[in-house]
Amino acid sequence: MTLAALNSPVDLDQSQLFIVGQQRLEGELHVNGAKNSALALMAASALSHEPVRLRNMPDLTDIGAMAKILVSLGMGFHLEGSSAVLRGGGLTSHDPSYDLTRKLRASFFLIGPLLARHGVAKVPLPGGCRIGSRPVREHNKGLQAMGARISMKDGVVSAEAQGNHGRLQGCSIHLDYPSVGATETLMMAATLAEGETVLNNAAQEPEVMDLAGLLKTMGARIQGAGSSTIRIAGVKQLHGADYAVIPDRIEAGTFLIAAAAARSRLHVTPVETSHLSAVLAKLEEMGCSISPQGQGLTITTPGQLRGCELRTQPFPGFPTDLQAPFMALLSTAEGDSFVTETVFENRLQHVAELQRMGAQIHTNGVNAAHVKGVPMLSGVPVTGTDLRAAAALVIAGLAADGVTQVGGLENLDRGYARLEERLQSVGARINRIDATQTAQTAQTALTGSLDLSYSSIPDPSQGACRNW
């Protein structure tokens, strides 16, 4: 693991992926540690003065961004292979800078640990993908119930514990919505609070359970994680730990969907089947065959798939993070499909780009879409406007006829490490091309001596491609 984001990264928005579609995928893809879980575990490490070792860490730009934030607060951070060791003994600051936090939604998780440990915290409002308002009202409301005074000015949330010796006070909190971020923030804050905290209508996602697992390994007293009611009995301090991040269910789902779109047989491992039950059910409903093998799953896809209806929901429902990739798959299925997004109000930005590839998608307002499958998508230049939209366009490119150019890689690389290299290993014809390289260079890199016409592809070095 390198976490290149800790250094000056390549200007990712000036690179593209070139994909020659209609190639069968075959072999095995390894699933990395869960990004959404790892970010919360890194924040939790700030609760202890002792070192916390996190194993199975994904090598992603978001992870590097969180590491930078923690180092700026005085914590130690270093890599040992696929593990990261975080040392909270030097934590001295409680106010991460806006420049470091503005592009990382998970940075707001830090308000819980900083407030619990210091009694005070100042954290800028979160950034990340522009897929919705991502309010922090539930976070703030819960911290206020625990005795924190909350104020907001110039986009910065300031919190100060008003209890004895600057400690938060345990209480009963009801979340109006089972927000994963709020559940994790409040659970971390409650570990060092005085007395018992009860979170009602808590999020039940696997990432919440993983965070609880780390916190319990660090000495926290937590019951009920994975259910709608979580009880946390506060302790005076937490100690160090050695803990492995769970496999990324969203990455695993992306690989399975990619195999279905390419009408292929692929083994994906490791996979915790219970974390993907809603997705697996939809794939089987469409006609895919999925069987357990070792620690993973093998998917076999027939030549034709059937459309279906899906609605995103909090876990254990269909995950919002796989809605865009699944819509790319539905675009190639026979018949009509209907997609309803209920988690984020602006998560259909990929529709316009899929339409450019020939997908027949009609939206109803901002949260629903009718997808009528087409026999074949066509490769064209497209841009991923957010992380999962970018993944959807890669999947569409794998299924499309011709060459697909995917931009917006600064979004893709936030959640998928070296995706093109891993897809190459199972037969995909995909390569990353810097903007300074010409279309002819892209042809050689992708196809060798294969005679493919790139006449319709703009030359990136001439600035002809949108947003690149």
Q: What is the pLDDT along the chain (468 residues), one digit of tens a residue?
A: 565 445 434 444 579 999 999 999 999 999 999 999 999 999 999 999 999 999 999 999 999 999 999 999 999 999 999 999 999 999 999 999 999 998 788 899 999 999 999 999 999 987 644 544 457 899 999 999 999 999 999 889 999 999 778 899 999 999 999 999 999 999 999 999 999 999 999 999 999 999 999 999 999 999 999 999 999 999 999 999 999 999 999 999 999 999 999 999 999 999 999 999 999 999 999 999 999 999 999 999 998 999 999 999 999 999 999 999 999 999 999 999 999 998 877 778 899 999 999 999 999 877 899 999 999 999 999 999 999 999 999 999 999 999 999 999 999 999 999 999 999 999 999 999 986 665 565 556 565 544 444 333 333 333 332 221
H helix or E strand, kind and range, residue 53: strand 51-55
Residue 171 annotated in active site: no
Instruction: Determine the 3-state secondary structure of 197 from DSSP.
Output: strand
- Give the active site residue among 129, 288, 308, 465: 129
* Contact assessment for residue 468 and residue 407, using Cβ atoms and an 8 Å cutoff: yes
Q: Report the distance separating Cα 273 and Cα 393, nearest Å.
A: 25
Instruction: Report pLDDT for 79.
Output: 93
Instruction: Report pLDDT for 45.
Output: 98
Residue with tokens 């993944």, as numbered in its chain: 391
Instruction: Report pLDDT for 65.
Output: 93
* Contact assessment for residue 322 and residue 392, using Cβ atoms and an 8 Å cutoff: no
Which residues of 304-386 form beta strands (DSSP E)?
A: 309-311, 336-340, 360-363, 368-372, 381-383
User: Is there a cis peptide before residue 96, judged by omega within 30 degrees of 0?
Assistant: no
Q: Report the distance separating Cα 189 and Cα 234, nearest Å.
A: 9
